[in-house]
Amino acid sequence: MKISDLELLLVEGSGGNQENQTRSLLVRLTTAANLEGWGEASAAWRSDELAARRNALLPVLVGRSVFDIEELLALDELRDPALRAALESASWDLIARALGQPLCHLFGGSFRRRVPLTIRVPSGPAAGIAQLSRELSQQGFHAQVILSSGKPEEDVRTINTIRENVGEHIQLRLNGQGRYDLQTARDLCAELEYAQIECLLDPLLVMELPELAALGHQVNVPLGACRPLRAAADVLLLARLGSIPMAVIDLERVGGLTAARKCAAVAEAAGLSMSLGCSSWSGLAAAAMVQLAAASPVLRIANQCDYDLLNHHLLADAPEVVDGLVAVPQGPGLGVEPDRAKLERCQAG
């Protein structure tokens, strides 16, 4: 089963916020037998460069077996981890569609039928974030990620406001987004010590695990790492450092499902808590994340996805989400289909 064609689509969504538009690159692989597979990743590409990028990629892909995943991932043309993640997802989707099986069956079987999600709450004033957090909680999303403002006093105010309005029953992660120096992060942890947050994720400007581990030894707030984790070796170092209990593996940062599976194997052996994350919003990357989480026992805590995914996806039929749990799609491949009409409306100009 060999690759015969490649389609690249750049779609744009804002979730109703024109000042915070995000772009996703969709990849569609096809075979001579008209089988297809889809993948997605966030991209900083422009629409006027898609043709040139396709012309550069197509000659190295055409004629290759879609089963040769590791060989595809080693291509120089796929050095960018986000592009590698999207193309690998399309390859796995194509393989599983050809076999008539949901992708999780190729990764070891359906260990769980529903996968917990944690939603990244959009930035804004503390009162607005707390209101949205309350609405999400009422929909069953009891795990939420709050994005740091870059100002410690505002972050503490936001967390406290959420606790006052929503209560203690939700799990909160504060994503520091790499905004703080060591002393400021230390002070922030002191303020958050009694806020009962699940973890403070990526607080430091310096994206190095030893620096984060040093902070972990000095504070009582649990820390988590995402941005510094780009391969299984980084997860192993995280385990050896010993003071960072949570790893969040972003599929785009590590370069796809195969790399994420390797990270999960290391995390399971080391006894680390691990979840997956995806930044793209069309629904295809989230479906890939859910398929992997369904087959991986170690991925038992809520997996991160973007708020826009709930209302602005580009799928024909979105998977059912009940009480913060998404049903694992049981159709072949990723188990979801992009809606062509939605794709055309959202294509970046």
Tens-digit pLDDT string for the chain (349 aa): 999 999 999 998 754 344 456 789 999 999 999 999 999 998 888 999 999 999 999 999 999 999 999 999 999 999 999 999 999 999 999 999 999 999 999 999 999 999 999 999 999 999 999 999 999 999 999 999 999 999 999 999 999 999 999 988 899 999 999 999 999 999 999 999 999 999 999 999 998 999 999 999 999 999 999 999 999 999 999 999 999 999 999 999 999 999 999 999 999 999 999 999 988 889 999 999 999 999 999 998 889 998 888 878 999 998 888 898 999 999 999 999 999 999 999 888 7
Q: Which residues are paired to 267 by β-bridges?
A: none
Query: What pLDDT, on a 0 to 100 scale, did the predictor assign at position 18?
Result: 42
Tokens of 284: 């295809």
Query: What pLDDT, on a 0 to 100 scale, did the predictor assign at position 92?
Result: 98
Query: What pLDDT, on a 0 to 100 scale, did the predictor assign at position 16?
Result: 38
Query: What pLDDT, on a 0 to 100 scale, did the predictor assign at position 17?
Result: 42
From edge to edge, which strands make up the β-sheet containing 22-31? 3-13, 22-31, 36-42
Residues in CB range of 224: below 8 A, 6 or more apart = 173, 199, 200, 201, 202, 244, 245, 246, 247, 248
- The CB-side HSE value for 177 (13 A sphere, CA atoms) comes to 12
Element (H, E) at 6: strand 3-13
* d(C-alpha 120, C-alpha 117), whole Å: 10
Query: What pLDDT, on a 0 to 100 scale, did the predictor assign at position 66?
Result: 95
- For the chain, how far is it from start to end, CA to CA, in angstroms? 34
Query: What pLDDT, on a 0 to 100 scale, did the predictor assign at position 226?
Result: 96
Where residue 125 falls (left for φ over 0; alpha for ψ -120 to 50; beta otherwise) is: beta
Instruction: Please report the domains of the chain, with CATH numbers, ordered by start residue.
Output: 3-100+341-346 (3.30.390.10), 106-338 (3.20.20.120)
In single-letter form, the type of residue at position 174 comes to L
SS3 content of the chain, % helix, strand, coil (to 5): 40, 25, 35
Residues in CB range of 181: below 8 A, 6 or more apart = 204, 205
Query: What pLDDT, on a 0 to 100 scale, did the predictor assign at position 14?
Result: 54
